[in-house]
Amino acid sequence: GAVVSQHPSRVICKSGTSVKIECRSLDFQATTMFWYRQFPKQSLMLMATSNEGSKATYEQGVEKDKFLINHASLTLSTLTVTSAHPEDSSFYICSARSVNSGANVLTFGAGSRLTVL
Amino acid sequence: GQNIDQPTEMTATEGAIVQINCTYQTSGFNGLFWYQQHAGEAPTFLSYNVLDGLEEKGRFSSFLSRSKGYSYLLLKELQMKDSASYLCAVRGIAVTGGGNKLTFGTGTQLKVEL
């Protein structure tokens, strides 16, 4: 089946630094990828829709200058958390649409746990 | 917008059957999904309903009633490994800039006990 690879799985950084998270679709092309954030014991909140070759579409309340998204190819989207602060500590998950059981479903990466000190 | 409600927690016994309900109000509907998520891991796809009725996949079944804005996930012959969070997600109508989006409920934490 479709596989989405996400890297790094865990990252710890100092406040004020930037962190880049990569999301790759393996063996399939993804013109659209989605970035979610999940706080402990809460559900996934959509941050933005990443579109290959064009600008990302951000959800209301998500700062586009803080969360930079680049979808440079059909298999790679990156999320850069700029000038990270402790409140940005969270579980970030990317996903891409693939076909499963005849339906278009989201396949998720394994997630990246960001801890900002 | 989307509003999705699920119970926060449920407890069931190994070998039993459990039903996890999900109700939703949406401005547009294009399918309902159930995902399973173990702690610290990414969600994995369980089922998809777009038409009314029951979809069965092994020990897991999912039901949808569009007129009632209601779905449930049924888990049979519960196993300890089924202890996880179960997320109900609704897909809206395609919009420009990237296609259909999934909105997730808060998830139901299922605990399976001996």
pLDDT in tens, A56-105: 999 999 999 999 999 988 899 999 999 999 999 999 999 997 666 556 77
Across the range B66-80, mean pLDDT stands at 97
Chain B residue with CA closest to A60: the answer is B1
Q: Tell me if chain B has a CB within 8 Å of the CB of A51.
A: yes
pLDDT for res A2: 82
Q: Tell me if chain B has a CB within 8 Å of the CB of A98.
A: no
Whether pLDDT at A1 is above 80 = no
pLDDT for res A41: 79
> Could A93 and B43 be called an inter-chain contact, meaning their C-beta atoms sit closer than 8 Å?
yes
pLDDT for res A32: 86
3-state secondary structure string, A35-66? Answer: EEEECCCCCCEEEEEEECCCCCEECCCCCCCC
Instruction: Name residue B14's beta-bridge partners.
Output: none
Across the range A17-25, mean pLDDT stands at 96
**A31: helix, strand or coil:** coil
Query: In angstroms, what separates the C-alpha of A14 from chain B's closest C-alpha?
Result: 22
**A111: helix, strand or coil:** coil
pLDDT for res A103: 61
Chain A residue with CA closest to B91: the answer is A105
Are B50 and B30 contacting, i.e. CB atoms less than 8 angstroms apart?
yes
Chain A residue with CA closest to B57: the answer is A101
- Report percent pLDDT > 70 for chain B: 91
> Could A103 and B31 be called an inter-chain contact, meaning their C-beta atoms sit closer than 8 Å?
yes
Across the range A36-60, mean pLDDT stands at 89
Between CA A3 and CA B4 the distance in angstroms is 27
pLDDT in tens, B32-65: 999 999 988 889 999 999 999 999 999 999 999 9
Amino acid at A56: A
> Could B106 and A43 be called an inter-chain contact, meaning their C-beta atoms sit closer than 8 Å?
yes
Are A34 and A95 contacting, i.e. CB atoms less than 8 angstroms apart?
yes
Cα A94 off chain centre by: 4
What separation, in Å, do the N-terminal and C-terminal C-alpha atoms of chain A show?
A: 37
Sheet containing B53-57, strands listed edge to edge, beginning at the edge strand earlier in sequence: B2-5, B18-26, B70-75, B60-65, B53-57
Whether pLDDT at B96 is above 60 = no
